[in-house]
Amino acid sequence: MKRALMTVATGGLALAALVGCSSEGQEPTATTALFEPCTGVTADALHKAGVDPVTKVAAGSVSAGWQTCEWTGDTAYLRVFSTSRTLKEFESESGETAFADYTVAGRTGRRLGGAPTTGSCDVLFAADQGVIRLVVVNNPAHQSDDACATLRQMGESIVPNFPA
């Protein structure tokens, strides 16, 4: 029930954001379609990142404001989220100081959290549609010293698939 309410609430917020306000004589702006990670990230990029394309698990929906895909590798799980929410919205919720610039594959994003951890790393990239979020969760059986180093290595092949 709680999940259904969250989905309805999130969908309503997404719809409100899409409708927006317009002045008389001014056309509403078109929205950019959400990047679909399950089809937008190539199998070749996934193999290079060390995850198996057949382990794909899709989640989210455009009506809920998210497109999400996850893949499994021997050492880590790779998740890509796509949303129309902006980087500013994420920063205002968590506080801008909760983020730090972080570059992956030549593209600067914003890493969430303080010092790197062994468990997970979360980097958000601004895009015309809103945000593409890359998350790496280390497999507990194969912990590395720095999950963000794992994200950067995996991201070298994944991030170039993201839209501008």
Give the pLDDT confidence of 127-159 residue by residue, as tens digits.
999 999 999 999 888 777 789 999 999 999 999
pTM, to two decimals: 0.78
The pLDDT averaged over each successive group of 10 residues in the chain (164 residues) is 36 36 40 91 98 95 88 96 96 87 97 81 97 94 83 98 97
Please state, in angstroms and rounded to a whole number, the distance separating the CA atoms of residues 25 and 30. Answer: 15
Of the candidates 41, 62, 75, the residue with the CA atom closest to the CA atom of residue 129: 62
Please state, in angstroms and rounded to a whole number, the distance separating the CA atoms of residues 140 and 32. Answer: 37
Please state, in angstroms and rounded to a whole number, the distance separating the CA atoms of residues 127 and 105. Answer: 15
Which domain range does residue 146 map to?
2-161
What's the full length of the chain, in residues?
164
Q: In the prediction, which pLDDT does 123 show?
A: 98
CB 71 within 8 A of CB 91: no
Burial class (CB in 10 A: 0-12, 13-18, 19+), 153: middle
Of the candidates 107, 101, 120, the residue with the CA atom closest to the CA atom of residue 156: 107
DSSP line for 77-133? EEEEEEES--HHHHHHHH-GGGEEEEEETTEEEEEESSS--SSEEEEEEEETTEEEE
Domain count, the chain: 1
